[in-house]
Amino acid sequence: MGVELVSGLCVTNDAPTDSLETILWHAQESRDALTISVKYGGVTHLDNLASAPIPWGSTAPVPMVPTKPNPKIAVVGTVRASWLGSASYVVTFSGGMIRPNLINISSSDQNGVPADAAPIIVAAYLDSLAGARHPGMAQ
């Protein structure tokens, strides 16, 4: 038992007929890796943009790999996991989500300067069971 957190961002414009645009991150656990993916789209249709498998326990940055070309938006950057004990983690994204003709989303420092050292938290899982171990982590 625990608490899962993922980030989502909704963007809309002044056109009343335009659907809400959504960016949604997801963390999928498997025995071998924690796969981070990001989706983008309107209210009823979300396209997978990119994903990255992070091996359990690894703290190295992993590049986001595009799932398929999308002319509306691109995700360029890396994800990294911070492991909290044996069953909890926080995942951050460093880079940018680029959509032509709109304000783009990028990791930056407090002055707005792009900086890999100032990542965006995109997903987290905080385990509430003391001593619980994830099947992918070493015993």
Distance (Å) of CA 46 to CA 37, 38, 39, 42, 89: 12, 10, 6, 6, 25
pLDDT band at 43 (very low <50, low <70, confident <90, very high): low
pTM recorded for the entire structure: 0.76
Per the prediction, the chain carries an average pLDDT of 76
Q: Nearest-CA neighbor of 80 among 61, 58, 53?
A: 61
pLDDT at res. 136: 56
pLDDT over threshold 60, residue 46: yes
> pLDDT, tens digit, for every residue of 10-19?
665 555 555 5
Q: Could you tell me if 126 and 5 are in contact, meaning their C-beta atoms sit under 8 angstroms apart? A: yes
> pLDDT, tens digit, for every residue of 60-84?
999 999 887 777 778 888 999 999 8
